[in-house]
Structure 1
Amino acid sequence: MKILLATHNRDKEKELQKSLEETNVEICSLFDFPEIRDIEETGKTLLENSLLKARTVFNITGIPTIADDTGLEVDFLDGAPGVYSARYAGEKVSYQDNVNKLLLELDGVPYNKRTAKFRTVISYIDIKQELWTEGHIDGIISDNIRGDKGFGYDPVFFVPHIGKTFAELSSAQKNKISHRGIALQKLRKILINVLK
């Protein structure tokens, strides 16, 4: 069976493929369908955006589709950047631009008030059904960049019980505990039943 990953983000694609490699599915991505452009995320929630992307790509291709949306929710910022995490500093900006804006907004905020949550919603759609899972992890936004692995907000998302940021972890370590990894573990269990 073939499953299409509805993303133009190479980093997300790698994480999704790695997490699904033990299933007996052929994985393809939007890089295999250059005619499908970026899908505007108009939803007000991660679930709405995830389903929007999955439905759009499935309707175009007819291939069972997985899509996700991820948000960093910082308590001090009343849940921001949330659904705007990828474009927090503006459209078509770099990961570093988003991180810099976040660090600037938290400048001077004490450690105990820098609590945050990373959340991912992953949707799966085929001809018969729409399914979704969610994963989250709590952490703290560090006051400086630590580590050189990962992407996005990984260099500033500190996981207290590990004592490291996501960017200081190997991809295998991160995928075991991350929001996306947790959501993918749940999805993998669902897909095993769906693919029987």
Structure 2
Amino acid sequence: MTKLVLATRNAGKIAELTRLLEPHGVEVLGLDRFPEIGEIPEEGETFAENALTKALTVARATGLIAVADDSGLAVDALGGAPGVYSARYAQPEDVPGGDSMSQDERNNAKLLAALQDVPPQERTARFVCCMAAAAPNEETLVAERFWKGRIAEAPAGDNGFGYDPLFHVPDAGCTSAQLAPEEKNRRSHRGQALEALLQEWPGFLERALTKK
């Protein structure tokens, strides 16, 4: 199997990407296997910039192919926010009781508050995923995809993480967090971005294994 490092310590992402990649003969290692790699700043203005920075940093540090994604939620009524700041959208002081909440709970609470007076038809949103692969020889591959939906008025479901409990999928009649994992992977921005990446994977792998 091809070993690659998934440039995250997020257990939800690691589990989700492992399920998607294992059928392709890829063994996924999380950043938890490489404690010497510290936090990688996400200072880019786009999802693509952040994903490439993370993938290249991990590939250089480990000597292995690395895959990173930068994903987020773009809400039309909020001008595309939280966007690249999705993971750190809310601070404890932004929501009542924020100190006792997880980061996901704070983010969701702040989002609901921001959309409190927005009617259902105007709560359109999309998940965005930019997935980047990088090799130690600096070869890279990037794919970006979207998943359109709406923001629900209350969270529902527990089969997910992040904003999944609030992301309503109209044609499924439920939130992303209420979908079975296989169905979510088939529909999701992350699954679509990975599929696009894998379509170009053979050529990338050939270039990645060529020394510069």
Aligned positions of 1:48-63 closer than 5 A = 48-63=49-64
Say whether the 8 Å CA contact 1:146–1:155 is kept in structure 2. Answer: yes
Whole-angstrom CA distance in 1 between matches of 2:14 and 2:147: 20
- The alpha-carbon deviation at position 128 of structure 1 amounts to 5.5
TM-score normalised per structure 2: 0.88
SS in 2 for 1:69: strand
Question: Residue 173 of structure 1 corresponds to which residue in structure 2?
Answer: 183
Q: 1:55 to 1:194 in 2, by over 3 A?
A: closer
Contact 2:145–2:193 at 8 Å: present in 1 too? yes
Q: What does residue 188 of structure 1 align with? A: 198
Alignment of 1:103-114 (within 5 A): 103-114=112-123
Which of the pair has more CA radius of gyration? 2
SS in 2 for 1:117: strand
CA deviation after TM superposition for structure 1 residue 93, in Å: 5.2
What's the TM-score, normalizing by structure 1?
A: 0.95
User: Contact 1:20–1:188 (CA<8 Å) still a contact in 2?
Assistant: no
Structure 1 or 2: more helix by fraction: 2
Determine the structure 1 residue equivalent to 2:67: 66
Does the Cα contact within 8 Å between 2:56 and 2:138 map onto a contact in 1? no
> What CA deviation, in whole Å up to 9, does each residue of 1:89-111 have, x standing for no partner?
03895201100000000002100
Tell me if structure 2 keeps the 8 A contact 1:8–1:38: no
1:158 aligns with 2:158: no
> Which residue identity does 1:72 align to in structure 2?
L
Question: Which deviations, in whole Å up to 9, do the C-alpha atoms of 1:62-115 show, x marking residues without a partner?
Answer: 211100000100000000000000000038952011000000000021001100
The aligned amino acid for 1:75 is D
Asked whether the equivalents of residues 46 and 120 of structure 1 are also in contact (C-alpha less than 8 Å), the reply is yes
**Structure 2 residues without counterparts, runs of 5 or longer:** 93-100, 207-212
Structure 1 residue ranges (4+ consecutive) displaced by more than 2 angstroms after TM superposition: 90-93, 192-196
Over residues 148-190 of structure 1, what are the superposed CA-to-partner deviations in whole Å (9 max), with x where a residue is unaligned? 2100000000011111100110111100000001001111222
Distance 1:13 1:125 in 2: 17
- 2:17 counterpart of 1:16: yes
User: 2: CA distance between counterparts of 1:35 and 1:193?
Assistant: 31
CA distance in 2, matches of 1:44, 1:128: 21
Stretches of structure 1 lacking an aligned partner (at least 5 in a row): none
Do the aligned residues in 1 keep the contact of 2:140 with 2:204 (CA within 8 Å)? no
- 2:128 alignment counterpart: 119
C-alpha separation between the residues in 2 aligned to 1:28 and 1:148?
25
Amino acid of the residue matched to residue 62 of structure 1? G
Matched residues, percent identical? 45
Any conservation in 2 of the 1:87–1:93 contact (CA below 8 Å)? no
- Comparing 112-121 with 55-64, greater Cα deviation is found at 55-64
- CA separation in 1, counterparts of 2:189 and 2:25? 23
- Secondary structure of 1:95's counterpart equals helix
